[in-house]
Amino acid sequence: MLAPETSAPQFSDELLWYCVKSRPKQEGMATRLLRGELGLEVFCPKIRFKRARSTGVAWVNEAMFPGYIFVRFVYPELYRRIAATSGVAKTLSFGNRPAALDDSIITDLRRHVADNETVEIACEIKEGEEIRVIEGPFQGVRALVTRILPARERVAILLNMLGQEREIEVSTTAILPDVRHPLEQK
- Taking the domains of the chain in order of start, what are their residue ranges? 15-120, 130-177
Residue type at 7?
Answer: S
Q: Residues 135-155: pLDDT tens digits? A: 888 888 888 899 888 777 888
Name which CATH class applies to 130-177: mainly beta
* Fold (topology level) of 15-120: Alpha-Beta Plaits (3.30.70)
pLDDT at 186 > cutoff 70: no
Neighbour tally for 83: CB within 10 Å: 12
62 strand-pairing partners? 47
What is the band of 68 on the pLDDT scale with cuts at 50, 70, 90? Answer: very high
SS3 9: coil
Q: What is the pTM of this model?
A: 0.71
Cβ neighbors of 68 (< 8 A, separation 6 or more) are 19, 20, 21, 22, 27, 92
Is the pLDDT at 80 greater than 50, yes or no?
yes
Residues forming a β-bridge with 69: 20
Could you give the percent of the chain with pLDDT greater than 70?
Answer: 88
Hey, is 19 helix, strand or coil? strand
Q: What is the pLDDT of residues 106-141, one digit of tens each?
A: 999 998 887 778 888 777 788 888 888 888 888 888
pLDDT confidence of 48, banded at 50, 70, 90?
A: confident
Assign 172 a pLDDT band (cuts: 50, 70, 90).
Answer: confident
